[in-house]
Amino acid sequence: MYPLKFYPILKERLWGGTKLKEVLHKPIESEITGESWELSGVKGDISIVSNGALSGTSLQQLIDDRAAELLGKSVVARFGKDFPILIKFIDAKQDLSVQLHPNDKLAKERHNSFGKTEMWYVMDADDGANLIVGFNRDVSKEEYTESLKNDTLLDLLNYEKVGRGDTFFINTGKVHAIGAGVLLAEIQQTSDVTYRIFDFNRKDKKGNLRELHTEQALDAIDYKKKDDFKVNYGSNPNIVNPMVDCPYFKTDYLHLTENWNLDLSKRDSFTILMCVSGSARIANENGTADIKNGETVLVPAVSRSLSITTDNVELLEVTI
């Protein structure tokens, strides 16, 4: 159970562009690739190992065969044989639709799915790029509904200008959208349940408006203005800088300018390392994996220690 890499699962999107190819060097020919799913247990989109002796094995097969070793006993106790995290890189050439995600309760009742709490780390942003996160004031359900009828929803939304390194925590119920010109890393609960509430009246390549989930969203939206989304974190080199610690995942920022050793002997969880700049070699007791900007490594829970060989790398470290 060495550090595992996986083939990216590439998704064309109406709003996608070419940064996943040009900046992160993904194997893409399309001009509208919007998402690279790096680590996925979503049914129909299960990640496949790309390195070492287990190359060609699916993430689900590894979990079925060796769940406790890969995930950790406490993770198995909580999630069974479902991989609880979905890891993506997203390139928005155009604005994404304004959307939100239901909480666990609603998602279970309606879709037999987890809810979708997520976080974003901005890797690159064009000048003037922004995100939509929440409302700019408290809004009533009636006022919200009226804004949909009058095509004035955008007047109620909160816009945040962004640059590299900006990080946002998006809890369930919060309306949000990634703006044009943003390339980001996304960490989220394993769920593909999204309620789209506004799509700038765009049409797909067949000339059709995309489906909106107006009625489903009404009871899932948090209508309050809340300044709970911007993540303030340290960026000091060669120490662990905490970012997000929520019930679904814990993320730390590591900027390493020298070799680094991590004791995992008390950690009963897998560890995900997303590389957002530079390169490194990741090693546990059973093998190594090289990682560079735009790549992701899954370190099995059975690992007792981890060494990172580098002279300059920025990593997002994700655990349960």
Enter the DSSP assignment of 156: G
Query: Which one of the listed residues 13, 164, 196, 304 is annotated catalytic?
Result: 196
Point out the annotated binding site for Zn(2+).
101, 118, 176
Cβ neighbours of residue 198 under 8 Å, at least 6 residues apart?
97, 98, 148, 153, 154, 212
Closest CA to 107 of 188, 191, 196: 191
The secondary structure of 13-65 as a DSSP string is EEEEESHHHHTT--S---S-EEEEEEE-EETTEE-BB-SSTTTT-BHHHHHHH
Question: Which amino acids are annotated as binding site, given as ranges?
Answer: 101, 118, 176
Instruction: Find residue 244's DSSP bridge partners.
Output: 251
Q: Beta-carbon neighbour count of residue 146 at 10 Å?
A: 13
Q: Does the annotation mark 210 as catalytic?
A: no
179 and 128 in contact (C-beta within 8 Å)? no
Question: Catalytic residues, which ones?
Answer: 196
